[in-house]
Structure 1
Amino acid sequence: MKVFIINLEKYAARKNHALNQCQNIGLQAEVFNAIDGRLLSPQDIKDQTHPELSAGLTESEIGCALSHQGVYQKMLSENIDVALVLEDDVQFDDNSCDIISYLVANIPKHPTLYLLSDVRKYLRGGKKISASEHKLVTVSQAALAHAYIINLSAAKKLYDFMNPVWLEADRWTYLIECGVVDIKAVVPAVGHLSELSHESTIWHCEAELERKKIIRELRKVTVNKIRKKRPLLIKVKNSMWRIFMRPFFEIKRD
């Protein structure tokens, strides 16, 4: 299994933290140089983003999305069957390696992604992970992209679906609604956010923090537009699930 740590080259302390996290649980990792969206020219951004549906994304969020897509592209070019994708603010539990090894050994061939992080909502039940207190559950709502396992077919689906950039790298809930890949999660989570996560590399200075409210309002409008553009079949499918299937499931929050 390949392990990729997505890291901006200038953040050496974050890189070393993530490498140490992997070493501590017996994983060998490769650093994938992230794209700093703030260094992209206006033409670069225009060339690599959707002209309408990327509205409200910051340059840093665009760089983050391009970085994850870069990992998917590497998996495709090198025919990597399965990979563990990490951001440099990840924090592992002591037993994370056993859980990861189990998931990698049992990941199916169809497009599948396993979140190792906390998720917002998931369906009760799930599949018990052998010799542990953990289980693999079906995700209903989730965000964050700092720790997940992805197979090759899912990497291809996500790259094709999200390129050029028009979604955040961790817009998992929308991907679930559209049925792009099968997204499940480990409960309890084994890949957490470290204290480094409080030092945002997206909202990285006072000037951007002041723009945050305006940018987020623009993104909210754009996301509503994205949802309206969903194919009719997907809208019907999600409506039917909410009406006829959801009452039979208990959705837990984590």
Structure 2
Amino acid sequence: MPGLFHVRRGLMVQTDWPILVLTLVGDDARRQPLLTQLAEAGLSWQLLMGVDGRRGLPAEYLPLIDREAAQQQLRRPMTDCEFACALSHRTIYQTILDKGWAGAVVLEDDAILTPDFAEFLRGGFHRVKTMALLDYRFGRALRWQRRRVGRWTLYRAAQRATLTSAYTLSRKSAADLLAVTTPVSQAADWPADLHDLDAWLVVPRIADHNEPGAGPSHLEGTRRAVACQGKHRGRYLEARYWRGLIRRKLARKVGR
């Protein structure tokens, strides 16, 4: 049942910023390595059953998507699996608000934790005012927009990075993301400019992922789609486009 929670209490119970593991019904074997890592680190988690679009998008979700807008954004049809992924993350945003949580740590069920993951959380560094990407690809940032937290540096994202495999999200950012995903018309990573969302990139990353094609992934098409986002006719007439272009030119790669 989509949205159903299963709670596993570990040695370290996080009530204000719970760890949510986004998974699908029947993917027990796929998520077990991650759950084993969490258990060994003494961390508690909650399973959130996402939207399964592998056999078509369930009818109850059709009012929450806009296929025409997605076509305009991506310049191609958005697949049901891509919509399902975005809807699953939208469920997380809604849940944070409905539960009254200060925020949450979100892990897709194929995320791979680094040995530093538990230390980062125990230091409270995940409790950001907006959001922080714990894993990402194509991370670029303005080097002077940074701050130290323990042994890590947080860089403010200058543009879209990819992956939603591991991130931390405050209630404020959950509300912002819910607004831009009502209705869903873009891929899960990410439906808005990360710089506009005041998102931060954790360096070094504290979570990892399998390379494309090297491990289980329902959503690789979603991640490939991001490169096409935001391109539309007339953008050259928008001041926002030129501000973003200058920012991207000044940005430098961070992370791996």
Q: TM-score, normalised by structure 2?
A: 0.77
Can you list the C-alpha shifts for 1:29-83, whole angstroms capped at 9, x where unaligned? 0000011023445855642211312232211111111111101111111111010
> Do the aligned residues in 1 keep the contact of 2:51 with 2:87 (CA within 8 Å)?
yes
Residue in 2 that maps onto 1:235: 241
> Do the aligned residues in 2 keep the contact of 1:123 with 1:252 (CA within 8 Å)?
no
Q: Percent identity?
A: 23
CA distance in 1, matches of 2:47, 2:237: 38
State the AA in 2 paired with 1:137: Y
CA distance in 2, matches of 1:82, 1:231: 37
CA distance in 2, matches of 1:61, 1:103: 32
State the AA in 2 paired with 1:113: M
Secondary structure at the aligned position of 1:176 is classed as coil
Q: How does 1:53-202 map onto structure 2 within 5 Å? A: 53-55=69-71, 56-104=77-125, 106-108=127-129, 112-120=130-138, 121-124=140-143, 126-130=146-150, 132=151, 134-140=152-158, 141-171=160-190, 174-176=192-194, 179=196, 181-194=197-210, 198-202=215-219
Quick one: structure 1 residues 228 and 117, their matched pair in 2 at CA, closer, same or farther if it must change by over 3 Å?
farther
> Do the aligned residues in 2 keep the contact of 1:53 with 1:222 (CA within 8 Å)?
no
Q: TM-score, normalised by structure 1?
A: 0.77
> Do the aligned residues in 1 keep the contact of 2:19 with 2:106 (CA within 8 Å)?
yes
More helix by share: 1
CA distance in 1, matches of 2:61, 2:236: 24
Q: Across the two proteins, how many residue pairs are aligned to each other?
A: 229
State the AA in 2 paired with 1:201: H
Quick one: structure 1 residues 41 and 31, their matched pair in 2 at CA, closer, same or farther if it must change by over 3 Å?
closer
State the AA in 1 paired with 2:240: I
Structure 2: any 5+ residue segments left out of the alignment? 1-16, 72-76
Q: How does 1:23-34 map onto structure 2 within 5 Å? A: 23-34=39-50
Query: What's the RMSD between the two structures over aligned residues?
Result: 3.1
CA distance in 1, matches of 2:64, 2:95: 17
